[in-house]
Structure 1
């Protein structure tokens, strides 16, 4: 009887241990790329090629993840950030992403840059059910959870931003004669569509000249000459940094004085304005959602203080006034927030679920009043901007924060 009792007790103890162990195991869910010690994050960036000015975004993200790892990682796991050069070339992007997924076995592809590159990898990643998370381009199509549930943008959409410029011109310069140049790819066409939609029926009469350029062109000077000849008094520059700087310089050389608007992705003082010459950029308009590291108004801002300290310790050779460095920090901070929310459930499905559950999250770098919000039906994290004008050696914000949310 006594032996029987002991056997039953041993069996009961074994059952309790087994159920406790399985409960502990159940609490930790991993997909390929995650473990008790590591989270593998894949990335592609144009470290070379026509958009290489953006390469510092990847370097900034790598530095931020080094900081997180130095502080103990995320729930005890270190981030292994694997970033490859795609040279802003869609075929190269496909090749590098396949390598990340099939050889490196990453959990996700984070903040891959460029509309053409992301378009090339979107179907592949969605078919494999691998997060293409916080895409570094403002194309409107990243906010399509029904058709592409594994793809999510981060920055405001190009169409939303363009509609804000159209709204501004209709109010402030309704008789404008607009000459514009756009990059002949999905990036440029998305901005163009938003602008024409924003102008509405007046687009046909207000836009007097359109020029498109290829990223393979060494210079866009010839296009700028044609736009000046059109008699335009507004110049809208839908360009990436290298070409944006060329355009600002050429407009000044031609002694042409239109009202100039440059898109947010090329508003960096360090990468665009300074190379083009401060004197050539006076009065240019743009819009922003992030603080400008070169602007003294943020000197005592707690978030920017953290950013400055981060640069000193983890990325000392960064150009502090390059907005792309700041962009990388903000995007990386958002990913860290999502991974923290995942806890011990590091499955790809849970990564997307948490990314679609952000509420009023404010990275250190966003303008006051602008926050990140997502839901299962809203994959556009940032949807607000504020207009700004270049004056002296800095951008000066003006007007209210405007929502550029896409209305169906």
Structure 2
């Protein structure tokens, strides 16, 4: 006897089948984004934990300091309403671009991270640009002042452009030392070359001249030969854009050789922790630019953001010193990651990039008052475009003049 299906039952079956299909599709779509489950989001970092520029490894440790605190509080509640623990995977590349590429391949293909974060070094970010574009993996908040690299659709920086720092240094000299003769010690990478070109452009309409310029590499065991050449040029102003070790060597040389020029050091190498090898007395008078609050390890004060940072640093038993600016950059980077995860509309890589391309007044615990993260898709790729000059008094940095903003008008490369 044939089975009769009551009228209307077939449409109900169709609805149920469609609902099941839609649920399956939703689960499949979620599984198509690696590194995200209902309770974990995986983030990868490749950075120099060893080698001649191992000091930059404090950035990864700073990220972990923030992430540990967030995880201890239960995780981060993301934009889809689910709370997830951040799983951080860190690989050592010694600042070797080829090792960076190898590490990122491992993180993406074997570990299946959701995004890579805080990749240090301009050549290193250049090395992975094509790969992250092909794999459509976010390279988030790079530690490079060169923002336009090889994977523009899938990368974004955090720290101010080197062109901004060069312009700020130039403005200070034009206003305070209009006849300055500059000796420039710079990294022989795109980082240093861009800074040099930006500095030349910024002083081109003034009476300031660049009397001499000497390149260095991170592998140079010493930069004394370059510094001797710069001193012999007769320059009365030294501008340094190198790693921390070479920056400290330059500061010591300038003081102990009897040269004693006005010395401006890029924030890459100017933290109190970085200056200690030079002898803090030798560093007295050094000028730098900064976008982060100055954390005094002995008297941190009562700023709420700094208070949280100090507590998180202690709880994490961080390996970098409290006043290490590179560790603080890492902490701020971790903070920025958390704010983005909280804001993104869906747990996908596309939603992540949409969010970081449209930041609006995002506050971080360690950013100086008045500085927030702002970007605008296709128009403004620079999250931070303001800097404050500081001068070292022998024990701490003191503000020098007013904050200088290039918001929406960062000088092009």
TM-score by length of 1: 0.91
The aligned counterpart of 2:277 is: 275
Matches within 5 A, 1:350-369: 350-369=351-370
> Are 1:258 and 2:265 counterparts?
no
Partner of 1:221: 224
How do residues 317-336 of structure 1 correspond to structure 2 at under 5 angstroms?
317-336=319-338
Match of 2:145 among 138, 146, 163: 138
Q: Distance in 1 between matches of 2:167 and 2:359?
A: 25
Q: How does 1:236-315 map to 2 (within 5 A)?
A: 236-270=239-273, 272-294=274-296, 299-315=301-317
Partner of 2:102: 95
C-alpha displacement at 1:7, in angstroms? 4.9
2-structure distance, mates of 1:139, 1:89: 17
2:209 corresponding residue in structure 1: 206
Maintained 8 Å contact 1:291/1:298: no
SS where residue 77 of structure 1 aligns? strand
Work out the CA distance in 1 between the residues paired with 2:324 and 2:134: 36
Shift of 1:11: 4.2
* CA distance in structure 1 between the partners assigned to 2:390 and 2:307 by the alignment: 22
Greater per-residue helix proportion = 1
Give the corresponding residue for 2:163.
159
- Note if contact 2:118-2:333 (Cα within 8 Å) is conserved in structure 1: yes
Deviations 1:241-298 (A, max 9, x none): 010011111112201111000001111101x222211110111111110011127785
Match of residue 114 from structure 1: 121
2:178 corresponds to: 174
Output the CA distance in 1 between the equivalents of 2:290 and 2:15.
Answer: 62
Q: In the alignment, what sits opposite 1:374?
A: 375
Q: Residue by residue, what CA displacement relative to the aligned partner does 1:340-375 show, whole Å, maximum 9, x if unpaired?
A: 1125x2211111001112111111000000110112
Structure 2 gaps, min length 5: 77-81
Q: 2 CA distance for matches of 1:128 and 1:249?
A: 45
Q: Matched residue of 2:387: which SS?
A: strand
Instruction: Name whichever of 56-65 and 312-321 sits farther off.
Output: 312-321
- Structure 1 residues 302-311 or 8-17, which shifts more? 8-17
Q: Secondary structure at the match of 1:174?
A: coil
Question: What secondary structure is seen at the aligned counterpart in 2 of 1:84?
Answer: strand
Instruction: Tell me how large the CA RMSD over aligned residues is.
Output: 2.5
In the alignment, structure 1 residue 383 sits paired with structure 2 residue 390: no
Give the number of aligned pairs: 401
Q: Distance in 2 between matches of 1:16 and 1:131?
A: 34
Deviations 1:121-163 (A, max 9, x none): 1121112211111001111425x9xx71111000100111111
Following the alignment from structure 1 to structure 2, what is the Cα–Cα distance between the partners of residues 24 and 97? 28
* Bigger mean CA offset, 69-78 vs 22-31: 22-31
Give the Cα separation in 2 of the matches to 1:218 and 1:380: 34
Compute the displacement of 1:70 (Å): 2.1
| 1:79 correspondence with 2:76 | no
Q: Give the distance between the partners of 1:27 and 1:94, measured in 2 at CA.
A: 28
Residues 257 and 131 of structure 1, relative CA distance in 2, 3 Å threshold: same
Distance 1:131 1:24 in 2: 22
Aligned to 2:83, the other structure's residue is in SS state coil
Q: Is the 2:263–2:285 contact (alpha carbons within 8 Å) kept by the matching residues of 1? A: yes
Corresponding residue SS for 1:243? helix
The 1:297/1:289 distance shift into structure 2, 3 A limit, reads farther
> Please, which runs of 5 or more residues in structure 1 have no aligned partner?
none
Deviation, structure 1 residue 407: 4.4
Name the SS for the 1:401 alignment partner: strand
Superposed displacement of residue 210, structure 1: 1.0
Alpha-carbon distance, 1:191 to partner: 1.3
- Structure 2 distance, partners of 1:397, 1:72, is 38
TM-score, normalising length: structure 2: 0.90
In structure 2, distance between residues paired with 1:229 and 1:29: 63
Q: Distance in 2 between matches of 1:210 and 1:202?
A: 18
1:128 aligned partner: 135
1:380 CA drift (Å)? 1.0
